């Protein structure tokens, strides 16, 4: 069940989701096309965790693979500072986990996997900065990418061959 954003913390998270969904690189990455591309992109961006499994217990491998590629947005750190009587400024750090099911065409080429993924992530970062501070978009001061990592299908949860990273985004304002 999706609960609407209403406070200063969740409004910031929502603005990041709006920014990601508006990113042409993110839309291309997830295969969003047509008049509802923004809605398609928003459906691949989740808050805090994956959406619940269909059976209410645990995701099947097929359900997990169907979620990819995707983003999970959460708050790492948040500060509200009084700026004037009755007003406050917000700042902090959001985390975005980006996960990608590696295409079969490059599955056996680790260098190509890393390069293609970093090209995608770099495009998303460029798009986020281009939108920073515009209407209903997150105001961004800095973005840091953690080292991308590969999850192999033999590990605990069989997502397939997945490449992922986290972006740590320093923001200000709502």
- Asked if the model's pLDDT at residue 155 lies above 70, the reply is no
For 114, phi then psi, to 5°, come to -60, -45
Q: Please name which of 146, 169, 149 lies closest in space to residue 77, comparing C-alpha atoms.
A: 169
DSSP 76-126: EEEEEEEEETTEEEEEEEEEEEEEEE--GGGTT-HHHHHHHHHHHHHHHHH
pLDDT tens track for 9-46:
999 999 999 999 999 999 999 999 999 999 999 999 99
Q: Among 3-12, 66-75, 81-90, name the most confident range.
A: 66-75
- Tell me which fold the domain 17-172 belongs to: STM4215-like (3.30.2000)
153 has a pLDDT exceeding 80: no
Domain limits of the chain? 17-172
For 141, the 3-state DSSP assignment is strand
pLDDT of residue 59: 78
Q: Could you tell me if 20 and 71 are in contact, meaning their C-beta atoms sit under 8 angstroms apart? A: yes
The rounded distance, in Å, linking the Cα atoms of 87 and 85 is 6
Average pLDDT, the chain: 90
């Amino acid at each position: 069940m999706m609960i609407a954003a209403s406070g200063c913390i969740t409004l910031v998270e929502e603005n990041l989701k709006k920014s990601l969904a508006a990113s042409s690189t993110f839309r291309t990455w997830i295969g969003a096309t047509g008049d509802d591309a923004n809605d398609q992109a928003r459906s691949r961006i989740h808050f805090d965790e994956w959406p619940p499994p269909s059976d209410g217990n645990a995701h099947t491998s097929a359900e997990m693979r169907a979620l990819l590629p995707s983003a999970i947005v959460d708050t790492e750190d948040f500060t509200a500072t009084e700026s004037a009587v009755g007003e406050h400024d917000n700042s902090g750090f959001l985390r975005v986990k980006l996960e990608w099911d590696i295409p079969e065409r490059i599955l056996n080429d680790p260098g190509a996997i890393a390069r293609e993924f970093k090209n995608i992530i770099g495009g998303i970062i460029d798009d986020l900065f281009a939108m920073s501070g515009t209407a209903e978009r997150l105001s961004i001061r800095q973005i840091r990418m953690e080292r991308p990592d590969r999850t192999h299908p033999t590990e605990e949860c069989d997502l397939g061959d997945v490449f992922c990273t986290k972006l740590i985004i320093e923001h200000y304002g709502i």
